């Protein structure tokens, strides 16, 4: 058996410094608020560190806009009533950038579990709900920032800058990103492997984005697609985004009718406010489920 006297017999080095008396703050909403804040800050720091991700996340919407949009414009010119297909796809590209960045933010929960950091948060003296909320606000912030970067491309697709438009779009992006992050966190708490989470993105998020009408107008759809479209929560974020962008363009009535038919429920034209409310309701529901799931984790 090895000797236990392995340290020098001298006085311990740390004894020289008088201990700093620490009285930690009591529990309560302030503690929970701090929990929200630090988790949010961490998302920002990590997003900022990961410049490569910022660039790659920018690449995807650009490919959709310029490669797909530019290529398909040749055959789609008849259906867009003289509007450039890229202009039409621009709000969809905004939505896509936000959705994928938000999903990646939520994926960090899976990493955090894998690298153990999740436990540091789980044992902290704050409510778990505040951690989820911080994560969702963090995801919403970075995804909206990503959305703003795509927003900067507006002049390239014949959409002039306008402060009102930017603010409207930003508000919608925040909401959309919050909903997606909450959905992602809810899924990520149950999923322990990154591969499974990526598969989820492919199987659920991609179809939801396509079905939402991010890349096509909502009129004249086959019946089954129309039903799926109305059930897709993303629809109610993409359409207001498009309205916000297009309201600053001068379109012919024919083009508006073709490209912006709006959303109808059994023949009832759903007002934008109601559409936004659908997204808010979904976001709250997702957040609620995510928190409940996280509590049990």
Whether residue 275 contacts residue 239, with contact meaning beta carbons closer than 8 Å, is answered with yes
What are the structure tokens assigned to 50, written together?
């990961």
Establish if 152 lies at the interface with other proteins (CB under 8 A): no
- Binding residue for other proteins (CB under 8 A) from 124, 198, 201, 289? 124
Whether the CA torsion 98, 76, 87, 70 is positive or negative: it is positive
- Binding residue for other proteins (CB under 8 A) from 52, 74, 78, 116? 116
In order of 120, 169, 182, 236, 297, the CA distances from 263 in angstroms are 45, 18, 25, 8, 38
Establish if 7 lies at the interface with other proteins (CB under 8 A): yes
Nearer to other proteins, 42 or 230 (CB): 42
Establish if 126 lies at the interface with other proteins (CB under 8 A): yes
Q: Which residues pair with 264 in a beta bridge?
A: 269
- Binding residue for other proteins (CB under 8 A) from 56, 77, 82, 115? 115
Exposure of 69 by Cβ count < 10 A (0-12 exposed, 13-18 middle, 19+ buried)?
A: buried
Nearer to other proteins, 19 or 78 (CB): 19
Nearer to other proteins, 196 or 254 (CB): 196
Q: Binding segment for other proteins among 118-126, 237-245, 270-278, 281-289 (CB under 8 A)? A: 118-126
Measured CA to CA, the distance from residue 96 to residue 11 in angstroms comes to: 62
DSSP secondary structure, 174-206, as one string: HHHHHHHHHHHHHHHHH---HHHHHHHIIIIIH
Q: Binding segment for other proteins among 111-119, 181-189, 203-211, 219-227 (CB under 8 A)? A: 111-119
Establish if 198 lies at the interface with other proteins (CB under 8 A): no
Residues comprising the chain, all counted: 297
Query: Where are the strands (E) in the chain, listed by range?
Result: 264-265, 268-269
Question: In the range 30-69, which residues lie near other proteins by CB under 8 A?
Answer: 30-31, 34-35, 37-38, 41-42, 45-46, 49-50
Minimal distance, residue 21 CB to other proteins, in Å: 7
Interaction site with other proteins (CB under 8 A) = 1-2, 4, 6-7, 11-15, 17, 19-27, 30-31, 34-35, 37-38, 41-42, 45-46, 49-50, 112-126, 192
């Amino acid at each position: 058996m090895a000797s236990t006297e392995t340290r020098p017999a001298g006085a311990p080095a740390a004894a020289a410094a008088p201990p700093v008396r620490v009285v930690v703050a009591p529990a309560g909403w302030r503690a929970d608020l701090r929990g929200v804040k630090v988790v949010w800050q961490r998302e920002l720091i990590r997003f900022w560190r990961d410049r490569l991700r910022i660039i790659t996340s920018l690449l995807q919407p650009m490919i959709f806009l310029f490669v797909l949009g530019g290529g398909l414009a040749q055959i789609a010119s008849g259906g867009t009533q003289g509007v450039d297909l890229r202009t039409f796809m621009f709000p969809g590209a905004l939505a896509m950038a936000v959705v994928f960045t938000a999903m990646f933010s939520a994926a960090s929960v899976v990493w955090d579990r894998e690298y153990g950091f999740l436990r540091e948060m789980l044992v902290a003296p704050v409510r778990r709900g505040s951690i989820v909320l911080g994560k969702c606000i963090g995801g919403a912030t970075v995804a909206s920032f990503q959305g703003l970067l795509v927003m900067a491309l507006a002049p390239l697709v014949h959409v002039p800058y306008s402060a009102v438009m930017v603010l409207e779009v930003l508000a919608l992006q925040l909401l959309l990103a919050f909903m997606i992050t909450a959905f992602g966190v809810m899924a990520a708490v149950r999923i322990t492997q990154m591969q499974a989470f990526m598969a989820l993105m492919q199987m659920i998020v991609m179809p939801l984005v396509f079905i939402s009408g991010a890349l096509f107008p909502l009129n004249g759809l086959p019946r089954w697609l129309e039903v799926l479209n109305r059930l897709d929560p993303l629809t109610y974020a993409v359409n207001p985004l498009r309205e916000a962008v297009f309201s600053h363009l001068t379109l012919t009535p024919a083009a508006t009718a073709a490209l912006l038919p709006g959303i109808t429920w059994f023949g009832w034209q759903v007002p934008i406010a109601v559409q936004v409310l659908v997204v808010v309701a979904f976001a709250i529901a997702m957040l609620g489920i995510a928190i409940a799931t996280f509590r049990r984790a």
